[in-house]
Amino acid sequence: MRAWIIALVLLLTPVAASGEDAWQEGWDAYLRGDYATALSTWRPLAEQGLAEAQFYLGVMYANGEGVPRDDAEAAKWWRRAAEQGLAEAQFNLGNMYANGQGVPQDDAEAARWFRLAAEQGLAEAQYNLGVRYDNGRGVPEDDAEAAKWWRLAAEQGLAEAQYNLGSMYDNGRGVPRDDAEAARWFRLAAEQGDAEAQFNLGLLYDLGEGVPEDDAEAAKWWRLAAEQGFALAQYNLGAMYANGEGVPRDDAEAAKWVRLAAEQGLAEAQNALGGLYAVGQGVPQDYVLAHMWLNLAGSAGDAVAVKLRDAIAALMTPDQIAQAQRLANEWIAAHPPQ
């Protein structure tokens, strides 16, 4: 489950409003990057109460466009627009409270403004309100409420909400467990390029849960996630190539994908890559590199890797072991924990 919120400065589509000519003059200036003209044109409109102008003054202060960046000023103008019911301003003000930018951090206020925007149908606010109910920040923790708000956002096509709703069905949280519904929502997010949804959909095809078991489909979705750098998908795709499941068996391709996952620190992949070097499968046999990768996996708590590393060490010279240990230390130094 994703426990982060969408934290962006949401923009408005320009609309006709009172003072339309002045509004349009400011909009044209803003689009061409003439922020001084946009600011001088919109400020009088904002002070007269035009919500769209208030909103964009907030955007300009938040981004430092034509003015020094000033979160407090951004929050001030978004509050004025939000109090007039402008959903995008309510969303942005909710994010300011969530992050303590320009206002004191306040989870309850964040939830309140997200709710007002969500009730107007703003998908990003519906998603963020669902996250609040999922983690109990600013509202009581409530899986059913989280699922409710994520469903509303998911039905508008928001991939993050589709993924989270799929996870709820997959785990039976807030909704009855339903593999077919999980697959449906994962697919919708996966088709939008969401890597975690692609991975999970591949897993359902691999297990035959909610969809017919299909190794080729599993490999297809794992490849899409792997190409986006998702380590578990890279590892699983490597295993598919190693075993010839869903793809033709190809030891070199297996080693390629396993290596990409290993380089990201996935212990299972480091163990597998060490094993490939130990026997020369898809890579040249190399006890030094085998020891290095198994040592890294062992350092991450993989007991099987430790046993295999020690077995390989019995076949190595002291100089080779020292070289392998040096390579492992260099790798660790180049990949500090995130």
- Residue 15 domain-assigned (yes or no): no
Domain total for the chain?
Answer: 2
CATH number at residue 99: 1.25.40.10
Name 216's Cβ contacts closer than 8 Å, sequence gap at least 6.
246, 247
Which residue matches tokens 């709703």? 165
How far apart are alpha carbons 232 and 226 in whole angstroms? 8
**DSSP code, position 67:** S
Q: Residue 72's pLDDT is what? A: 97
Q: How many residues does the chain have?
A: 338
Asked if 183 contacts 163 with a C-beta cutoff of 8 angstroms, the reply is no
Q: Residue 16's pLDDT is what? A: 45
Closest CA to 238 of 225, 253, 228, 248: 253
Final residue before a domain boundary, out of 117, 141, 165: 141
Structure tokens at 291: 């020891």
- Residue 267 domain-assigned (yes or no): no
Final residue before a domain boundary, out of 141, 174, 208: 141
- Residue 276 domain-assigned (yes or no): no
For residue 32, the enclosing domain spans 1-10+20-141
- For the chain, the maximum distance between any two Cα atoms, rounded to a whole number of angstroms, is 83
pTM score, whole prediction: 0.90
Which amino acid, 31? Answer: L
Distance of alpha carbon 167 from its chain centroid, rounded?
Answer: 14
Residue 20 backbone dihedrals phi, psi, to 5 degrees: -60, -40
How far apart are alpha carbons 118 and 112 in whole angstroms? 10
- Residue 179 domain-assigned (yes or no): no
- Residue 34 domain-assigned (yes or no): yes
Asked if 106 contacts 137 with a C-beta cutoff of 8 angstroms, the reply is no
Residues of the chain predicted below pLDDT 50: 2-7, 16-17
Give percent of the chain above pLDDT 90: 92
Name 35's Cβ contacts closer than 8 Å, sequence gap at least 6.
29, 60, 65, 66, 67
Q: Residue 1's pLDDT is what? A: 57
What would the pLDDT profile of 307-328 be if each residue is shown by its tens digit? 999 999 999 999 999 999 999 9
- Residue 30 domain-assigned (yes or no): yes
Asked if 125 contacts 91 with a C-beta cutoff of 8 angstroms, the reply is yes
Strand, coil or helix: 232: helix
Asked if 271 contacts 293 with a C-beta cutoff of 8 angstroms, the reply is yes
How far apart are alpha carbons 6 and 269 in whole angstroms? 31
How far apart are alpha carbons 208 and 188 in whole angstroms? 18
Give burial (CB, 10 Å; 0-12/13-18/19+) of 281: middle
How far apart are alpha carbons 227 and 204 in whole angstroms? 19
- Residue 92 domain-assigned (yes or no): yes
Q: Residue 18's pLDDT is what? A: 52
Final residue before a domain boundary, out of 107, 124, 141: 141
How far apart are alpha carbons 305 and 325 in whole angstroms? 15
What would the pLDDT profile of 265-312 be if each residue is shown by its tens digit? 999 999 999 999 999 999 999 999 999 999 999 999 999 999 999 999
- Residue 260 domain-assigned (yes or no): no
